[in-house]
Amino acid sequence: MAQQLTEILNYFLNDYIQKKNVPFGKGAEVYKSICVSACDKIYETGLVNKEDYKVEGSVGQGNWAKVPWLAIFRKDITLSAQNGVYIVYLLSSDGNSLYLTLNQGVTEAGKDSTTKETIKALRNNADRISAQLNKHSFLSDENINLGNDITDLGKKYQKGTIFYKKYSKQNIPSEEILQEDLKNMLDVYQEYYDKVYKGNSNPPPEPPPVEVEVYMTKQKIFFGAPGTGKSFKVNEIVKNQQVFRTTFHPDYDYAQFVGAYKPKKVQNFDNGLLSKEQLAKKLAEAFPNNGDGEIDKTTAITLFGLQYAKSLKEKNMNEIVRLSEIGPDQYKSAYLSAAVKARLQLSDVDEKITYSFVPQVFAKAYAAAWNLYFEAKGDSRFRGNDSEGHGNDSGKDIQVYLVIEEINRGNCAQIFGDIFQLLDRDADGFSQYSIDADCDFAEWLKTNDNGLKSVWPTYEEKVGDGKLKLPPNLNILATMNTSDQSLFPMDSAFKRRFDWEYVPINYEKAEADFIVGDTGFNFKWLDFLKKVNADIYKVTQSEDKQMGEFFIKPKNKDYITLDEFRSKVLFYLWDSVYKDELDSKLVFHFAYPEKGPDVTFQRLFNSDFVEILKKMLANLDIEYKDGAQQG
């Protein structure tokens, strides 16, 4: 008997937890095994036919599912795990148990209810249905356990279970038993159809078509004062995804963003790797003896060959003596020295300069996105339902993110060049217009293994030879400090091609409740931030120079040292905020007014810094604790 169900159980129970320890966007093997291969194996058992049943698997949507599943839908009952009754294999979150269940769609059931109300309704419905059907050898209690760390959706799976049977990693039954269990569950499913679904005198109305949620390409700039958590927000979005990062700066240009031809120094060897005999000849010419008798040429050849092969970055060393042939350990260093010297005297090695296209962050992200897009067979993967991947039509698991930090610190018009035109997206997320690629970039895409070589015919048909167009799974996210907005002004045409999200300062952020100072003298960072930001606005009439709650973070637990505070916060205030505001330096009024404006940054590094800081805090009306005064 073929082992279709055994292979499915083995993959779920033995491979899924381990194989999903990669970023979600790189988990193509897991997706294929559960969402493609496993579905095919269900049909191969002969128990389920494609005419009457639809088989579908899910490993999550954007993030790995806590409870991945493999479902069998009877087409005249439901086509989706969102509603109706269906058979589904559910893996527990720890990967130790797999359950064969007759279950209920939980999404539609909880559409207008709280989680608690939905769970109660699902359980009542499960009890009502199970009471009318033959249980065979299945359980119908509430003891199915998918894990303690599951989401509300996982809890609904548990309570929505009508019948189940548990398989454990330590005791997987034979293929014969697994197929018998599935056959019995299909009989129960048929009985449900005859007695409950079709036999109901008041059958439920046809479920409304499920409104498909289209995955919207993200093209957004997060902006705000420095330290408000913009990068953190971006990182939360791209977590477990395939990400390409760069940081713009004043000297950044198109070649650094997209790619360009660059020179490379390469070694040209006449005949590739030298044979053992050729190496022996070279060594004999260079070292007839080492002063203490003839060199052990076999050992020297071995070491020389290894060095030589390494210089070529070759893996094929069939013509080279292996390291295992080296003689006693005490001779190794001498042999190595001789081999290296001989290598340096190799006469038929020639070095030359060659040029090749070196892709940069945009080119790499572009190629990765199109490869994943075609691997997923196009648009059908770009639709989604719930957070656990019900329906598994989502494209969230094949998204690629190009993240640009400090986007306004570079000249965007110069950096993007013609790529600027690609930022206009149509309703499906593709670039509305294609552009001509630079010849070197186009050639790299067409011929390089890291480009689009493996999918080139498909790409050429969809986009065109020598053409560029962004796919819908290539997202562009950027951060921008408003305090740097004048470095390189962005024109309105560039700005309107992005969505914009302001990240405000959060003075109530519990994670930013740091202490500045030590046990002897300290004050609260958020107290200081509120007062100094108010003064910054008063002095500059702008929020751009204000500081965010994470402008500075403690290196040691919850305490920001006075040195850190002085070198980062006070230097920023002096250099970027108050430097040109000689008449309004409330923060830096160290001296008493009658002594005049003798304010210098140098004074912050005097031995009386703490006393100066106390005056600054008093100017801002900030409370502080002084352990020394309290005795």
Q: Point out which residues pair with 476 in neighbouring strands.
A: 219, 402
| Whole-number Cα distances in Å, 71 to 265, 389, 465, 598 | 56, 12, 41, 77
Q: What is the pLDDT of residues 40-99, one digit of tens each?
A: 999 999 999 999 999 999 887 767 888 999 999 999 999 888 889 999 999 998 889 999
**235 falls within a domain:** yes
**480 falls within a domain:** yes
CATH code where residue 492 lies: 3.40.50
pLDDT(20) > 70: yes
pLDDT(173) > 50: yes
Residues 71 and 90 in one domain: yes
Residues 429 and 537 in one domain: no
pLDDT confidence band for 378 (50 / 70 / 90): very low
Lowest mean pLDDT: which of 60-64, 250-254, 454-458, 496-500?
Answer: 60-64
Q: Quote the longest CA-to-CA distance of the chain.
A: 105
Q: What is the pLDDT of residues 89-135, one digit of tens each?
A: 999 988 899 999 999 987 766 565 677 888 888 999 999 999 999 98
CATH code where residue 30 lies: 3.30.920
**463 falls within a domain:** yes
Residues 17 and 49 in one domain: yes
Nearest to 193 by CA among 44, 185, 142: 185
Q: What is the pLDDT of residues 24-52, one digit of tens each?
A: 666 677 878 888 889 999 999 999 999 99
Calpha distance 550→512 (Å, rounded): 7
Residues 190 and 83 in one domain: yes
Residues 428 and 466 in one domain: yes
Lowest mean pLDDT: which of 131-145, 382-396, 414-428, 475-489?
Answer: 382-396
For residues 171 and 298, the model is more confident at 171
For residues 626 and 327, the model is more confident at 626
pLDDT(257) > 60: yes
Residues 257 and 275 in one domain: no
pLDDT of amino acid 478: 94
Residues 184 and 66 in one domain: yes
pLDDT of amino acid 364: 95
pLDDT(204) > 90: no
**207 falls within a domain:** no
b/e sequence 254-277, b meaning 16+ C-beta within 10 Å: bebbbbbeeeeeeeeeeeebbeee
Residues 10 and 41 in one domain: yes
Residues 276 and 374 in one domain: no
**22 falls within a domain:** yes
For the residues 161-182, what does the mean pLDDT come to? 93
**213 falls within a domain:** no
Residues 376 and 434 in one domain: yes
Q: What mean pLDDT, rounded, does the chain reach?
A: 78
Orientation of helix 361-375 relative to helix 439-447, angle to 10°: 40
pLDDT of amino acid 312: 41
Residues 587 and 455 in one domain: no
Instruction: Determine the Cα angle at 477 with ends 473 and 481, to 5°.
Output: 175
Residues 332 and 466 in one domain: no
Number of domains, the chain: 4
pLDDT(233) > 80: yes
Q: Which residue segment(s) compose the domain that 302 sits in?
A: 271-347
**472 falls within a domain:** yes
Asked if 490 contacts 500 with a C-beta cutoff of 8 angstroms, the reply is no
